[in-house]
Amino acid sequence: MPQPDGQGTLLVFSGNANPSLAAAVARELGTGLAAITVSTFRDGETQVVVHSNVGGRDVFVVQPTSPPVNQSLVELLLMLDACHRAGAERCTAVVPYYGYSRQEKRTTPQEPISAKLVANLLTVAGADQIVTMDLTVGAIEGFFDLPLTHLQAVPVLAKAFAGVDPDEVAIVAPDLGAVKRAEAFQQAVAPRAPVAVVFKERPQPDEVAVADMVGNVRGRRAIIVDDIISTGATLLAAAETVMQRGASGVAACATHGVFAPGAIAALEASDLERVVVTDTISVAPHGRLEVVSVAPLFAEVLARIHGERVRQPVAAAVTG
Protein backbone atom coordinates (compact mmCIF):
# COMPACT_ATOMS: atom_id res chain seq x y z
CA MET A 1 0.00 0.00 0.00
CA PRO A 2 1.26 3.52 -0.77
CA GLN A 3 2.22 5.50 2.32
CA PRO A 4 0.60 8.85 3.21
CA ASP A 5 2.01 11.82 1.39
CA GLY A 6 4.38 14.19 3.15
CA GLN A 7 3.77 17.91 3.50
CA GLY A 8 5.67 21.02 2.39
CA THR A 9 8.89 21.05 0.41
CA LEU A 10 10.50 18.28 2.47
CA LEU A 11 9.65 14.65 1.66
CA VAL A 12 10.64 11.60 3.70
CA PHE A 13 10.53 8.21 1.98
CA SER A 14 11.03 4.77 3.48
CA GLY A 15 11.74 1.35 2.06
CA ASN A 16 10.97 -1.93 3.82
CA ALA A 17 14.09 -2.13 6.00
CA ASN A 18 12.93 0.05 8.91
CA PRO A 19 9.68 1.91 8.19
CA SER A 20 9.00 2.46 11.90
CA LEU A 21 12.19 4.53 12.28
CA ALA A 22 11.43 6.47 9.09
CA ALA A 23 7.90 7.20 10.31
CA ALA A 24 9.23 8.35 13.67
CA VAL A 25 11.71 10.68 11.96
CA ALA A 26 8.92 12.07 9.78
CA ARG A 27 6.72 12.68 12.85
CA GLU A 28 9.56 14.54 14.55
CA LEU A 29 9.77 16.72 11.44
CA GLY A 30 6.05 17.42 11.60
CA THR A 31 5.12 15.46 8.49
CA GLY A 32 4.22 11.96 7.32
CA LEU A 33 5.95 9.50 5.06
CA ALA A 34 5.76 10.37 1.38
CA ALA A 35 3.88 7.97 -0.87
CA ILE A 36 5.93 5.19 -2.44
CA THR A 37 5.46 1.51 -3.21
CA VAL A 38 8.46 -0.80 -2.76
CA SER A 39 7.47 -4.31 -3.78
CA THR A 40 8.84 -7.41 -5.49
CA PHE A 41 8.14 -8.87 -8.90
CA ARG A 42 7.37 -12.60 -9.01
CA ASP A 43 10.92 -13.32 -10.18
CA GLY A 44 12.36 -11.59 -7.09
CA GLU A 45 13.33 -8.28 -8.64
CA THR A 46 12.57 -5.15 -6.62
CA GLN A 47 9.97 -2.72 -8.00
CA VAL A 48 9.78 0.90 -6.88
CA VAL A 49 7.02 3.35 -7.80
CA VAL A 50 7.05 6.89 -6.39
CA HIS A 51 3.52 8.28 -5.96
CA SER A 52 4.38 11.68 -4.46
CA ASN A 53 5.31 14.63 -6.64
CA VAL A 54 9.04 15.00 -5.97
CA GLY A 55 9.73 17.63 -8.64
CA GLY A 56 11.82 20.42 -7.11
CA ARG A 57 11.48 18.90 -3.63
CA ASP A 58 14.07 18.16 -0.95
CA VAL A 59 13.93 14.36 -0.64
CA PHE A 60 15.21 12.20 2.23
CA VAL A 61 15.27 8.43 1.70
CA VAL A 62 15.52 6.61 5.06
CA GLN A 63 16.75 3.06 4.65
CA PRO A 64 19.35 1.14 6.68
CA THR A 65 21.09 -1.59 4.72
CA SER A 66 20.21 -4.11 7.39
CA PRO A 67 19.36 -7.81 6.91
CA PRO A 68 18.37 -8.90 4.37
CA VAL A 69 21.30 -6.69 3.41
CA ASN A 70 21.26 -7.15 -0.36
CA GLN A 71 17.50 -6.56 -0.60
CA SER A 72 17.71 -3.45 1.60
CA LEU A 73 20.60 -2.07 -0.44
CA VAL A 74 18.85 -2.59 -3.77
CA GLU A 75 15.69 -0.93 -2.43
CA LEU A 76 17.74 2.07 -1.33
CA LEU A 77 19.49 2.39 -4.69
CA LEU A 78 16.25 2.11 -6.66
CA MET A 79 14.42 4.62 -4.46
CA LEU A 80 17.23 7.13 -4.93
CA ASP A 81 17.26 6.55 -8.68
CA ALA A 82 13.49 6.92 -8.92
CA CYS A 83 13.45 10.18 -6.97
CA HIS A 84 16.41 11.57 -8.89
CA ARG A 85 14.84 10.75 -12.27
CA ALA A 86 11.51 12.19 -11.14
CA GLY A 87 13.13 15.60 -10.72
CA ALA A 88 13.89 15.89 -7.00
CA GLU A 89 15.92 19.01 -6.30
CA ARG A 90 18.14 17.09 -3.86
CA CYS A 91 18.23 13.47 -2.69
CA THR A 92 19.72 12.65 0.70
CA ALA A 93 20.38 9.00 1.50
CA VAL A 94 19.71 8.51 5.21
CA VAL A 95 21.44 5.21 6.02
CA PRO A 96 21.25 4.68 9.80
CA TYR A 97 23.13 1.38 9.45
CA TYR A 98 25.67 1.20 6.64
CA GLY A 99 26.06 -2.44 5.62
CA TYR A 100 29.20 -3.84 4.01
CA SER A 101 31.24 -1.50 6.20
CA ARG A 102 33.30 -4.35 7.67
CA GLN A 103 35.20 -4.84 4.40
CA GLU A 104 36.78 -1.43 4.19
CA LYS A 105 40.21 -2.74 3.20
CA ARG A 106 41.73 -5.79 1.58
CA THR A 107 43.58 -8.32 3.69
CA THR A 108 44.46 -10.29 0.54
CA PRO A 109 44.73 -9.13 -3.09
CA GLN A 110 41.73 -11.30 -3.98
CA GLU A 111 39.19 -9.40 -1.80
CA PRO A 112 36.90 -6.49 -2.71
CA ILE A 113 36.65 -3.22 -0.84
CA SER A 114 32.93 -3.53 -0.34
CA ALA A 115 32.45 -0.34 1.66
CA LYS A 116 33.91 1.72 -1.20
CA LEU A 117 31.81 -0.07 -3.82
CA VAL A 118 28.59 0.66 -1.90
CA ALA A 119 29.63 4.32 -1.59
CA ASN A 120 30.08 4.44 -5.37
CA LEU A 121 26.69 2.79 -5.94
CA LEU A 122 24.92 5.37 -3.76
CA THR A 123 26.54 8.16 -5.76
CA VAL A 124 25.60 6.64 -9.11
CA ALA A 125 22.03 6.03 -7.90
CA GLY A 126 21.54 9.76 -7.43
CA ALA A 127 22.37 10.57 -3.81
CA ASP A 128 23.53 14.15 -3.33
CA GLN A 129 24.60 13.59 0.26
CA ILE A 130 24.67 10.90 2.95
CA VAL A 131 23.60 10.78 6.58
CA THR A 132 24.70 7.75 8.57
CA MET A 133 25.50 6.66 12.12
CA ASP A 134 28.49 4.96 13.74
CA LEU A 135 30.38 3.55 10.80
CA THR A 136 32.43 0.54 11.83
CA VAL A 137 35.56 2.32 10.64
CA GLY A 138 35.72 6.10 10.45
CA ALA A 139 37.98 5.95 7.41
CA ILE A 140 34.92 4.96 5.34
CA GLU A 141 33.99 8.65 5.39
CA GLY A 142 36.80 9.15 2.87
CA PHE A 143 35.16 6.73 0.40
CA PHE A 144 32.46 9.29 -0.38
CA ASP A 145 32.86 12.13 -2.85
CA LEU A 146 29.59 13.55 -1.50
CA PRO A 147 28.89 15.54 1.67
CA LEU A 148 28.54 13.06 4.55
CA THR A 149 27.14 13.61 8.02
CA HIS A 150 28.37 10.95 10.44
CA LEU A 151 26.37 10.78 13.66
CA GLN A 152 27.34 9.18 16.95
CA ALA A 153 24.87 7.19 19.05
CA VAL A 154 26.78 7.61 22.33
CA PRO A 155 24.62 10.53 23.60
CA VAL A 156 21.47 8.47 23.01
CA LEU A 157 22.87 5.28 24.57
CA ALA A 158 24.27 7.22 27.51
CA LYS A 159 20.78 8.32 28.55
CA ALA A 160 19.88 4.67 29.14
CA PHE A 161 22.62 4.48 31.79
CA ALA A 162 22.13 7.92 33.32
CA GLY A 163 22.62 8.06 37.07
CA VAL A 164 25.14 5.23 37.47
CA ASP A 165 27.71 5.71 40.22
CA PRO A 166 31.15 6.27 38.64
CA ASP A 167 32.75 4.66 41.69
CA GLU A 168 30.83 1.43 41.09
CA VAL A 169 31.10 0.93 37.31
CA ALA A 170 33.80 0.29 34.73
CA ILE A 171 33.44 1.03 31.02
CA VAL A 172 34.73 -1.72 28.74
CA ALA A 173 35.80 -1.64 25.10
CA PRO A 174 35.39 -5.19 23.72
CA ASP A 175 38.21 -4.66 21.21
CA LEU A 176 40.73 -2.00 20.16
CA GLY A 177 38.35 -0.57 17.58
CA ALA A 178 35.84 0.31 20.30
CA VAL A 179 38.21 2.26 22.56
CA LYS A 180 37.31 5.75 21.27
CA ARG A 181 33.60 4.98 21.57
CA ALA A 182 34.03 3.60 25.10
CA GLU A 183 35.95 6.70 26.16
CA ALA A 184 33.21 8.96 24.78
CA PHE A 185 30.62 6.89 26.65
CA GLN A 186 32.64 7.16 29.84
CA GLN A 187 32.77 10.95 29.58
CA ALA A 188 29.00 11.08 29.02
CA VAL A 189 28.00 8.65 31.77
CA ALA A 190 30.69 8.29 34.43
CA PRO A 191 33.80 10.47 33.89
CA ARG A 192 35.64 9.05 36.91
CA ALA A 193 35.01 5.42 36.01
CA PRO A 194 37.95 3.37 34.69
CA VAL A 195 38.06 2.20 31.09
CA ALA A 196 39.15 -1.38 30.37
CA VAL A 197 40.05 -2.83 26.98
CA VAL A 198 39.66 -6.45 25.85
CA PHE A 199 42.11 -7.66 23.22
CA LYS A 200 40.58 -10.25 20.93
CA GLU A 201 41.69 -12.54 18.15
CA ARG A 202 39.60 -13.94 15.27
CA PRO A 203 40.64 -17.52 14.44
CA GLN A 204 38.16 -17.27 11.55
CA PRO A 205 35.20 -15.04 10.56
CA ASP A 206 32.47 -14.72 13.24
CA GLU A 207 34.64 -16.50 15.84
CA VAL A 208 36.32 -14.63 18.68
CA ALA A 209 39.01 -15.58 21.18
CA VAL A 210 40.14 -13.24 23.97
CA ALA A 211 43.89 -12.73 24.15
CA ASP A 212 44.11 -10.36 27.13
CA MET A 213 42.46 -7.48 28.97
CA VAL A 214 43.90 -4.22 30.28
CA GLY A 215 42.15 -2.31 33.07
CA ASN A 216 40.54 -3.03 36.42
CA VAL A 217 36.90 -4.16 36.66
CA ARG A 218 37.11 -6.03 39.97
CA GLY A 219 34.18 -5.27 42.24
CA ARG A 220 32.58 -3.00 39.65
CA ARG A 221 29.60 -3.38 37.32
CA ALA A 222 31.02 -3.49 33.81
CA ILE A 223 29.31 -1.72 30.90
CA ILE A 224 30.54 -2.96 27.52
CA VAL A 225 30.25 -0.41 24.71
CA ASP A 226 30.34 -1.45 21.03
CA ASP A 227 29.02 -0.41 17.62
CA ILE A 228 27.52 -3.65 16.25
CA ILE A 229 26.10 -6.83 17.74
CA SER A 230 25.90 -9.40 14.96
CA THR A 231 26.58 -12.94 16.14
CA GLY A 232 27.25 -11.62 19.63
CA ALA A 233 30.57 -13.47 19.79
CA THR A 234 32.63 -10.37 20.61
CA LEU A 235 30.19 -9.21 23.27
CA LEU A 236 29.85 -12.62 24.90
CA ALA A 237 33.62 -13.12 24.99
CA ALA A 238 34.08 -9.70 26.60
CA ALA A 239 31.29 -10.36 29.14
CA GLU A 240 32.83 -13.68 30.14
CA THR A 241 36.25 -12.07 30.49
CA VAL A 242 35.14 -9.24 32.76
CA MET A 243 33.25 -11.64 35.00
CA GLN A 244 36.36 -13.83 35.23
CA ARG A 245 38.32 -10.71 36.19
CA GLY A 246 36.03 -10.05 39.15
CA ALA A 247 33.29 -7.74 37.85
CA SER A 248 30.21 -7.74 40.09
CA GLY A 249 27.90 -7.63 37.06
CA VAL A 250 27.90 -6.83 33.36
CA ALA A 251 25.67 -4.94 30.93
CA ALA A 252 26.21 -3.79 27.37
CA CYS A 253 25.13 -1.26 24.79
CA ALA A 254 25.67 -1.00 21.04
CA THR A 255 24.45 1.17 18.21
CA HIS A 256 23.40 -1.45 15.67
CA GLY A 257 21.54 -4.59 16.71
CA VAL A 258 22.06 -6.80 13.66
CA PHE A 259 21.41 -9.99 15.67
CA ALA A 260 22.25 -12.87 13.37
CA PRO A 261 20.18 -16.03 13.98
CA GLY A 262 20.79 -17.34 17.49
CA ALA A 263 22.42 -14.15 18.76
CA ILE A 264 19.57 -12.95 21.00
CA ALA A 265 19.14 -16.41 22.53
CA ALA A 266 22.87 -16.52 23.27
CA LEU A 267 22.73 -13.10 24.95
CA GLU A 268 19.73 -14.19 27.04
CA ALA A 269 21.68 -17.23 28.24
CA SER A 270 24.77 -15.19 29.18
CA ASP A 271 25.80 -13.20 32.26
CA LEU A 272 24.60 -9.96 30.64
CA GLU A 273 21.98 -8.28 32.81
CA ARG A 274 20.80 -5.87 30.11
CA VAL A 275 21.65 -5.09 26.50
CA VAL A 276 20.70 -1.70 25.05
CA VAL A 277 20.68 -1.01 21.30
CA THR A 278 19.26 1.77 19.14
CA ASP A 279 16.57 1.43 16.50
CA THR A 280 18.88 2.03 13.51
CA ILE A 281 17.86 -1.55 12.71
CA SER A 282 14.32 -2.71 13.35
CA VAL A 283 14.28 -4.88 16.48
CA ALA A 284 11.71 -5.33 19.24
CA PRO A 285 12.56 -5.18 22.96
CA HIS A 286 12.71 -8.66 24.42
CA GLY A 287 13.74 -9.90 27.84
CA ARG A 288 17.03 -8.22 28.66
CA LEU A 289 17.10 -6.44 25.31
CA GLU A 290 16.17 -2.73 25.42
CA VAL A 291 15.77 -0.41 22.41
CA VAL A 292 16.26 3.36 22.45
CA SER A 293 15.32 5.58 19.52
CA VAL A 294 17.64 7.73 17.43
CA ALA A 295 14.69 9.26 15.53
CA PRO A 296 14.86 12.65 17.32
CA LEU A 297 18.57 12.98 16.53
CA PHE A 298 18.13 12.08 12.87
CA ALA A 299 15.15 14.43 12.60
CA GLU A 300 17.17 17.31 14.06
CA VAL A 301 19.95 16.69 11.56
CA LEU A 302 17.57 16.42 8.60
CA ALA A 303 15.88 19.65 9.64
CA ARG A 304 19.23 21.39 9.62
CA ILE A 305 20.15 19.92 6.26
CA HIS A 306 16.79 21.07 4.89
CA GLY A 307 17.55 24.52 6.29
CA GLU A 308 21.01 24.51 4.66
CA ARG A 309 22.76 24.32 8.03
CA VAL A 310 24.32 20.86 7.70
CA ARG A 311 27.81 22.06 8.55
CA GLN A 312 26.77 23.14 12.07
CA PRO A 313 27.37 20.72 14.98
CA VAL A 314 24.24 18.94 16.15
CA ALA A 315 23.78 18.13 19.83
CA ALA A 316 27.46 17.19 20.15
CA ALA A 317 26.63 14.03 18.21
CA VAL A 318 28.20 14.71 14.81
CA THR A 319 31.79 13.79 14.10
CA GLY A 320 34.17 16.05 12.24
Query: Of residues 105, 116, 159, 200, which has the active-site annotation?
Result: 200
> Which pTM was predicted?
0.90
- Domain 10-152+295-306 class, CATH top level: alpha beta
Domain-by-domain residue ranges, the chain?
10-152+295-306, 155-292
Instruction: Give, for all 320 residues of the chain, the pLDDT tens digit.
Output: 334 444 458 999 999 999 999 999 999 999 999 999 999 999 999 999 999 999 999 999 999 999 999 999 999 999 999 999 999 999 999 999 999 988 888 888 899 999 999 999 999 999 999 999 999 988 999 999 999 999 999 999 999 999 999 999 999 999 988 999 999 999 999 999 999 999 876 655 555 566 689 999 999 999 999 999 999 999 999 999 999 999 999 999 999 999 999 999 999 999 999 999 999 999 999 899 999 999 999 999 999 999 864 344 444 455 54
The CATH classification number of 155-292 equals: 3.40.50.2020
Annotation marks residue 200 as catalytic: yes
User: CB under 8 Å to 189, separation ≥6 — which residues?
Assistant: 158, 161, 162, 164, 166, 169, 171, 223
3-state secondary structure of 142: helix
Task: Provide the angle, in degrees to the nearest 10, between the axes of the packed helices 295-306 and 19-28.
Answer: 60
Asked whether this chain's domains 10-152+295-306 and 155-292 adopt the same fold, the reply is yes
Max CA separation in the chain (angstroms)? 61
**Residues 171/196, Cβ–Cβ less than 8 Å:** yes
Rounded to an integer, what distance in angstroms lies between the CA atom of residue 17 and that of residue 64? 6
Rounded to an integer, what distance in angstroms lies between the CA atom of residue 270 and that of residue 235? 10
